[in-house]
């Protein structure tokens, strides 16, 4: 029993640091073999600060309380046929993207923190990583529970782990985490705790989840916010980690900066999917992607980097590009998926007239000029009964693995092409950022498992796209894929609404 008179700081010390031990009969370096190879210098682990000073007993107490609240809402949601209260059935496709693309990353985060939590010599860091690891496991579990309700009523939820490992566009999030987890433990922390949790997850979990609530999906909103209540702690940890590394040794500064540059860009590309979810997949809009980027990256991230300037850290490389891309990225991403709607495990659609007008209003400088015409063409083709599905496979970026559909920002009707030659092979990239990442570590990215090339190498089962989708990806063709219009999801939805089931 901890005596009542211990204050928070003392209690934290007693229950974390004081549980550590010295290595008197074994070589410390052997106990922590991953600690030095990245070049990071730690002179004093005791300087590690955990700002929330959460001890394990308090951790379990509060997490249990969060779970109770969350599961009460899940129960209410399903007892009340909550799926019938969402704005319209198109919305559910955003949740399919979430389950197949994001929830498996929670699991990867759980594995990643469990691993690095063993690798650090400091007890404070190990405890923080252990808690985060358990949090991330909770996130994937609660997300699966929440979405299992949708699986009873909608297509596309049935095989999410299998799909995550195989489906072409899911190689984007999968390879992001594979990249982080195959790095050393300190790079993993900068990648995930700092760049991902601190700089970027806000964009996924805050405005999008608020959007879920705005579309009547209380289950998703609540698991999102419940997860995000842990993320607030993860973010703070991310900030502390970076300050700790920068304060430990000046030699750490350029290494950390290099990782910030890399992981900021990796994260930016991953967020292209979230951008399209916000602008195109939420029938009721909360804010545009551009607005979310301004609030959660430009303002919040700007303040953060100003704060870090005293350590000699500057804004991430290519941040100027993102200031222009915020006007384009969601439109380009949704067009990639719309034109590949036959090969996606969720439905795609042409935005309604109202939605097109909302996009014009939110993107006055770009939407009518560059993107509305694409939708007019799509509408014309659909009206002729020839809904546009592209007929050949796309060129992919070697680094982010997204089809190379992003344009030059100063010439937005021209695809951006970048390339590098390495040991007699050509590699292609969607952007300066992705090229830069490859050029820094070509030995790593020559191993990129690019879905289009893998299909052509015969490693994805079938001889044609249909076989790959059906047999290798395990999509229910004609049910999971194609346009929302005419889908079974749409038919069932209209039937429920007609019958007034509630």
Partner 1 sequence: MSKVYLALQDNDDSRYIVEAIIEDNQEATVINQPAMIRIESTGELVVRRSTVEEKIGRDWDVQELHLSLITLGGNVDEDEDQLRLSWNV
Partner 2 sequence: MSVVAITPDYKFEAKDRFENFHGNQIVYVGWDHHLMFCSAFAYPVPPATTFKELRDGVMQEAFEMHPEYSKVNWETATWLLDNKPFEPQLDKSLQEQGIGHKSLLRFQTPELKGYKNAGV
Fill in the per-residue mask, 174 to 213: x = in contact with partner 2 (CB under 8 A), - = not in contact. ----------x-----------------------------
Long-range CB contacts for residues 217-221, cutoff 8 Å, separation at least 24: 217/82, 217/85, 217/86, 217/91, 217/95, 218/73, 218/76, 218/77, 218/82, 219/73, 219/74, 219/77, 219/78, 219/82, 219/146, 219/147, 219/149, 220/95, 220/98, 220/146, 220/147
Question: What string marks each residue from 431 to 460 as x (binds Zn ion by CB under 5 A) or -?
Answer: ---x--------------------------
Residues 319-334 as b/e (b if ≥16 CB within 10 A, e otherwise) read bebbeebbbbbbbbbb
For partner 2, which residue of 171, 407, 431, 481 counts as binding (CB under 8 A)? 407
Task: Please list, residue by residue across 170-204, b when 16 or more beta carbons sit within 10 angstroms of its beta carbon and e when fewer do.
Answer: bbbbbbbbebbbebbbbbbbbbbbbbbbbbbbbbb
Please tell me the distance from the alpha carbon of residue 261 to that of residue 195, in angstroms, as a whole number.
9
Residue 385 lies near partner 2 (rule: CB under 8 A): no
Quick one: which of 13, 138, 139, 266 contacts Fe ion (CB under 5 A)?
Answer: 139
As a whole number of Å, the CA-based R_g of the chain is 23
400 binds, among Fe ion, Zn ion, partner 1, none (CB under 5 to 8 A by kind): Zn ion
Q: How far is the CB of 6 from partner 1 (least distance, A)?
A: 10
The nearer residue to Fe ion, 200 or 437, going by C-beta atoms, is 200
State the binding partner of 106 from partner 1, partner 2, Fe ion, none, CB within 5 to 8 A by kind.
Fe ion
Q: Which member of 192, 235, 343, 430 binds Zn ion (CB under 5 A)?
A: 430
Closest Cα partner for 169 from 344, 393, 417?
Answer: 344
Using CB under 8 A as the criterion, what x/- string covers residues 274-313 for binding partner 2? Answer: ----------------------------------------
Query: Taking phi first (over 0 means left), then psi (-120 to 50 degrees means alpha), and beta for anything else, what does residue 348 get?
Result: beta
Which residue in 59, 178, 181 sits closest to 128, CA to CA? 59
DSSP one-letter code for 435: H
Is position 350 an interface residue for Zn ion (rule: CB under 5 A)? no
Contact between 187 and Fe ion per CB under 5 A: no
By CB under 5 A, residue 109 contacts Zn ion:
no
What are the C-alpha distances in Å from 126 to residues 129, 132, 241, 259, 361? 5, 10, 12, 21, 48
Nearest approach in angstroms of CB 343 to partner 1 is 33
272 in Cβ contact with 330 (< 8 Å)? yes
Pick between residue 132 and residue 399 the one whose CB is nearest to Zn ion: 399
Chain positions 327 to 346 lying near partner 2, rule: CB under 8 A, are: 332, 335-336, 339-340
Angle of CA points 183, 316, 169, to nearest 5°: 60
Token digits for 205?
Answer: 């979990």
- Which 38-67 positions form the footprint of partner 2 (CB under 8 A)? 38-39
The residue among 9 and 30 lying less far from partner 1, judged by its C-beta, is: 9
Residue identified by tokens 């007239």 is 353
What distance in Å separates the CA atoms of residue 127 and residue 20, rounded to the nearest whole number? Answer: 10
441 lies in the binding site for partner 2 (CB under 8 A)? yes
315 binds partner 1 (CB under 8 A): no
Of residues 424 and 500, the one with the C-beta less far from partner 2: 424
The verdict on 66 binding partner 1 (CB under 8 A) reads yes
| Residues in touch with partner 2 (CB under 8 A) | 33-34, 37-39, 184, 332, 335-336, 339-340, 369-370, 373-374, 376-377, 388, 390-396, 403-405, 407, 412-415, 417, 419, 423, 425-428, 439-444, 446-450, 452-453, 456-458
Using CB under 8 A as the criterion, which residues of the chain lie in contact with partner 1 when the complex forms?
A: 7-9, 51-54, 58, 62, 65-66, 69, 202, 205-206, 209-211, 213-214, 221, 225, 228-229, 231-233, 235-236, 239, 286, 299-300, 302-304, 306-307, 309-310
């Amino acid at each position: 029993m901890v005596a009542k008179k211990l204050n928070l700081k003392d209690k934290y010390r007693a229950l974390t640091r004081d549980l550590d031990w010295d290595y008197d009969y074994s070589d410390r370096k052997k106990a922590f073999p991953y600690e030095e190879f990245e070049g990071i210098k730690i002179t004093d682990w005791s300087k590690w600060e955990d700002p929330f000073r959460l001890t394990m007993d308090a951790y379990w107490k509060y997490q249990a309380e969060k779970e109770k609240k969350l599961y009460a809402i899940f129960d209410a949601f399903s007892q009340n046929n909550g799926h019938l209260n969402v704005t319209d059935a198109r919305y559910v496709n955003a949740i399919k993207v979430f389950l197949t693309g994001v929830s498996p990353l929670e699991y990867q985060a759980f594995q990643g923190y469990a691993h690095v939590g063993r690798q650090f010599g400091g007890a404070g860091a190990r405890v923080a990583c252990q808690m985060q690891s358990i949090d991330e496991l909770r996130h994937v579990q609660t997300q699966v529970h929440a979405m299992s309700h949708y699986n009873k009523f909608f297509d596309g939820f049935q095989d999410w782990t299998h799909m995550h490992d195989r489906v072409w566009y899911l190689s984007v999030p999968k390879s992001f985490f594979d990249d982080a987890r195959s790095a050393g433990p300190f790079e993993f922390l900068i990648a995930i705790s700092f760049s991902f949790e601190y700089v970027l997850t806000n964009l996924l979990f805050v405005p999008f989840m608020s959007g879920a609530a705005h579309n009547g999906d209380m289950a998703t909103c609540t698991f999102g916010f419940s997860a995000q209540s842990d993320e607030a702690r993860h973010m703070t940890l991310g900030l502390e980690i970076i300050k700790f590394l920068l304060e430990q040794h000046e030699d750490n500064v350029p290494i950390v900066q290099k990782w910030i540059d890399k992981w900021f860009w990796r994260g930016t590309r991953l967020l292209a999917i979230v951008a399209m979810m916000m602008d195109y997949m939420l029938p009721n809009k909360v804010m545009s992607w551009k607005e979310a980027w301004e609030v959660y990256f430009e303002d919040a991230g700007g303040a953060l980097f100003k704060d870090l300037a005293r350590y000699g850290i500057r804004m991430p490389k290519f941040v100027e590009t993102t200031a222009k891309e915020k006007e384009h990225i969601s439109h380009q991403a949704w067009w990639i998926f719309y034109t590949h709607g036959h090969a996606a495990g969720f439905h795609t659609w042409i935005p309604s007239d109202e939605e097109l007008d909302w996009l014009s209003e939110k993107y006055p400088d770009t939407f009518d000029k560059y993107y509305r015409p694409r939708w007019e063409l799509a509408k014309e083709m659909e009206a002729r009964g020839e809904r546009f599905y592209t007929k050949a496979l796309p060129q992919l970026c070697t680094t982010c693995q997204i089809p190379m559909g992003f344009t030059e920002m100063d010439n937005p009707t021209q695809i951006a092409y970048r390339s590098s030659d390495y040991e007699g092979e050509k590699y292609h990239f969607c952007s300066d950022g992705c090229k830069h990442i490859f050029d820094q570590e070509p030995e790593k990215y020559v191993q990129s498992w690019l879905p289009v090339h893998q299909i052509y190498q015969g490693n994805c089962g079938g001889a044609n796209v249909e076989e790959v989708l059906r047999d290798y990806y395990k999509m229910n063709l004609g049910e999971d894929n194609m346009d929302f219009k005419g889908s079974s999801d749409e038919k069932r939805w209209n039937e429920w609404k007609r019958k007034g089931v509630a």
